[in-house]
A and B are shown apart, each in its own frame.
Chain A
């Protein structure tokens, strides 16, 4: 049963610390997305890649967020330094086309 795998599932960190979230997309999917979900803003697209190339990262605060795909089996989202307002659930998703298949998410709490 193919699925998107995200680690860690939960992360509590102190303000100012670096946070790295990892994602293994479904094998064969050439599009990878990073979304953030909060009660106030709903689901927001942060960045996405096609064939490992970044296509759009306009949803990310550039000064503190970075997203990469070192290889086809790994996508990373880093926050440095983290702030309390970054607390949210971060989802990775992948897709063979326009539809997205989501992972279980990383629940980030910055205190």
Chain B
């Protein structure tokens, strides 16, 4: 059974204080690993797809990296508007289309 564990559950940062969120996964092969951002009262917003170990993707202050066992979402010099819950999900080739989500990390960035 595919499993995704995200840590920490909650993270509080000061504006400008860089940090990383972790997503550990167990999957039978990896079709893709996905990062989403979710604001309160809204649906998750797609951020990145990573397909293979060593791959990196960047968007503004966010950079996602992937190894064979985990993914990191690095946040550089965060701003208050980066406050949200960040969700990680994986898909196995045998379950094409079916993503398993982690419980998320809730990030709060204080000005």
Interface residues of A (CB under 8 A from B): 4, 31, 33, 42-43, 45, 48, 50, 55-56, 91, 93, 98-105
Interface size on B, as a range, is 20 to 34
Contact check, B32 vs A102: say whether CB atoms are below 8 A apart: no
Asked if B111 is at the interface of the complex by the 8 Å CB criterion, the answer is no
Interface centre among B91, B96, B99 (most CB of A within 10 A): B99
Which of A4, A98, A104 has a CB less than 8 Å from the CB of B99? A98
In whole angstroms, what is the CA distance A33 to B36 when docked?
15
In whole angstroms, what is the CA distance A75 to B44 when docked?
19
In whole angstroms, what is the CA distance A2 to B98 when docked?
23
- Bitwise, B22-37 to A at CB < 8 A (1) or not (0) is 0000000001101010
In whole angstroms, what is the CA distance A30 to B87 when docked?
23
Contact check, B31 vs A98: say whether CB atoms are below 8 A apart: yes
Given A43-B44, A91-B43, A93-B43, verify A99-B32 contact (CB < 8 Å).
yes
Within 8 A of A (CB), among B19-72: 31-32, 34, 36, 42-46, 49
Asked if B97 is at the interface of the complex by the 8 Å CB criterion, the answer is yes
Which of B43, B44, B97, B102 has a CB less than 8 Å from the CB of A98? B97
In whole angstroms, what is the CA distance A33 to B104 when docked?
19
Contact check, B43 vs A48: say whether CB atoms are below 8 A apart: no
Which of A4, A43, A103 has a CB less than 8 Å from the CB of B101? A43
> Across the interface, which residues of B come within 8 angstroms of A56, CB to CB?
95, 97-98
Asked if B15 is at the interface of the complex by the 8 Å CB criterion, the answer is no
Which of B89, B98, B102, B103 has a CB less than 8 Å from the CB of A48? B98
In whole angstroms, what is the CA distance A33 to B91 when docked?
14
Can you identify 9 A-B contacts, CB atoms within 8 angstroms? A55-B97, A93-B43, A98-B31, A98-B96, A100-B34, A100-B44, A101-B46, A102-B45, A105-B43
Which residue from chain A places its CB closest to the CB of B44 in the assembled complex? A102
